[in-house]
A and B are shown apart, each in its own frame.
Chain A
Amino acid sequence: MKLPFLDKALSRFRSINSLSLVRPLMVMPALACFLLSTGCDSNSTVADFSASAKTAVSAGGPIFADFAGTCGREVADRQSFGGFSTDQTLPAECQAIDQKAQGIEAASKVVLAYFDALNSLASYNTATTGSNFNQALTDANQFAQFDADRKAALGALGQAILTITTSGYQTKHLRDDVVKTDPHLQIVLAALEESVTGGGLYLDMLANEKSKLAARSKEFLLENPNSPAVTLLLDQKWNADRRSLLAKENAARAYVAALKAIADGHSNLAKQAKTINEKQLIAVLQPYVDQVVPLIPTIRNGF
């Protein structure tokens, strides 16, 4: 494992060659601080990005259930007003949609699990590792007789090395995972998007449902003309139905916009993961986090 930061730290450590035995022990906490300040937090931006992606993908879950939902509503609305059917059975064609939509929902859950794991890995607290390490160090110290100051200094240095190393390991794997996964993720995210915007798919189904609702009301008015009260009631119902469908449509469009931002952000991260520093990483990812987060309430409002 290549650890340039450690070489740098060691060369700094070696440069204190004129110090007495006590001085190195005194500088250990300072060395620990130096070690800890060299990029330990570089994964937090990836954590923020994956957390926003996770939340947005999760919020879009009800869309897939509503594939069968919009189909069922359209079929139910074929019945004339006043039919008051209590039959809750999903028609065969909607059951077919439901079955297939579960497949695409499962795909979205794979993406969700990926961002969940990425988020866990990126937000893994190396300080916790260091804390656990300290307990092990205390146990191991039973075999060595150091005074309290030396033990404290030793703990600080050991913890710093452990934290830096685990952070490096964590970062390497994060980068490897992101680069390796990106081409596959792009295809799956595009498929999720297509399931919403593709011809004959979710948005078209919602548009058809809206058209059928309007036709049903118009038909009723043609069959029952000259009734202002009925017209008023139908108009109210139409407005309520239209608002509900509009919220679903807006949710679906926001979901698609979020998927695009996630795809672009992940792609940029994969392209630059191995070459950019922490500051650049934040500059690369933050705009995508800023795009995704405001879309989440709109996605949730649809269902």
Chain B
Amino acid sequence: MTTATVLQPAIAPTAANNSGSLAQQFYTLSQALDDFRLAHWSELSPDQRGQLKDEAQALDTRAHYLTADAIGALTASIQPELAAITNATNDAQKTLDNLNKLGNAVAIATAAVALGAAVATGNLASVSTAVVALTDTVASAAAGG
């Protein structure tokens, strides 16, 4: 039985679809060789069958390397997008951290007490001012201030 030489792809396609298309063609060719070998089994000598089988396997091996190239090119092409999504993820996490800080903000509670004091006086202008002060304090805390 002959041994087919397994080569890494001689070309280095830059786009995933180039490598992938080649891989797909190699898989198809390999399957066609199998089909031919099995369909003409009785007409082929054992050496010929062995050679066709080895060639089909060599095509599969080449296709696998091309598949690896295609996946690598695909991953490389989205690196800027991955960085942007990671930034957004970190931003969402920071927002959550700020929300957690808000829950413990004594400054806010103090402003709320001031609002209560204003309400107790019955002076609606003071109440209004105190509400705005409380809102500003909460907004400032939310902004991380």
Residues of A within 8 A of B (CB): 1, 3, 6, 10, 13-14, 17, 20-21, 24-25, 28, 67, 71, 74-75, 78, 91, 93-94, 96-97, 99-101, 103-104, 106-107, 110-111, 113-114, 116-118, 120-121, 124, 126, 128-133, 136-137, 139-141, 143-144, 146, 150-151, 153-155, 157-158, 161-162, 165-166, 169-170, 173-174, 176-177, 180-181, 184-185, 187-188, 191, 194-195, 198-201, 204-205, 207-208, 211-212, 215, 218-219, 222
Contacts and interface: CB of A to CB of B under 8 A. Distances in A.
A92 to B, nearest CB: 9
Secondary structure of the B contact surface, majority rule = helix
Given A140-B113, A199-B20, A200-B24, A24 B68 contact: no
A251 to B, nearest CB: 18
B136 to A, nearest CB: 8
Contacts of A21: 120-122
Nearest to A122: B92
B75 A158 contact: no
B102 A162 contact: yes
Chain A CB count within 10 A is highest, among B64, B124, B134, for B64
Main secondary structure of the interface of A (DSSP, over half): helix
B70 A200 contact: yes
Interface in B74-107: 74-78, 80-82, 84-86, 88-89, 91-93, 95-96, 98-100, 102-106
10 contacts: A1-B135, A21-B122, A78-B57, A116-B89, A140-B112, A158-B112, A169-B98, A174-B92, A201-B71, A204-B20
Contacts of A100: 68-69, 71-72, 75
A161 B60 CA distance: 66
B60 A110 contact: no
Contacts of B3: none
Contacts of B135: 1, 3, 6, 161, 165
A38 B38 CA distance: 72
A1 B142 contact: yes
B85 A184 contact: yes
B20 A173 contact: no
A106 B74 CA distance: 12
Interface in B98-145: 98-100, 102-106, 108-110, 112-113, 115-117, 119-122, 124, 127-128, 131, 134-135, 138-139, 142-143
Contacts of A188: 78, 81-82, 85
Contacts of B139: 1, 3, 165, 169
A212 B61 CA distance: 13
Contacts of A205: 27, 67
A133 B105 contact: yes
Contacts of B82: 107, 110, 184, 188
A144 B92 contact: no
Contacts of B115: 154, 157-158
A151 B20 CA distance: 69
B103 A129 contact: yes
Given A158-B134, A208-B31, A215-B34, 19 more contacts: A17-B124, A20-B122, A75-B60, A113-B89, A120-B96, A121-B92, A124-B99, A136-B105, A140-B106, A157-B119, A162-B102, A165-B138, A166-B99, A170-B95, A173-B92, A191-B77, A211-B31, A212-B60, A218-B38
A215 B53 CA distance: 10
B21 interface: yes
A94 B20 contact: no
Contacts of A113: 86, 89
A6 B136 CA distance: 12
Interface string B1-42: 000000000000000110111111111001100110110010
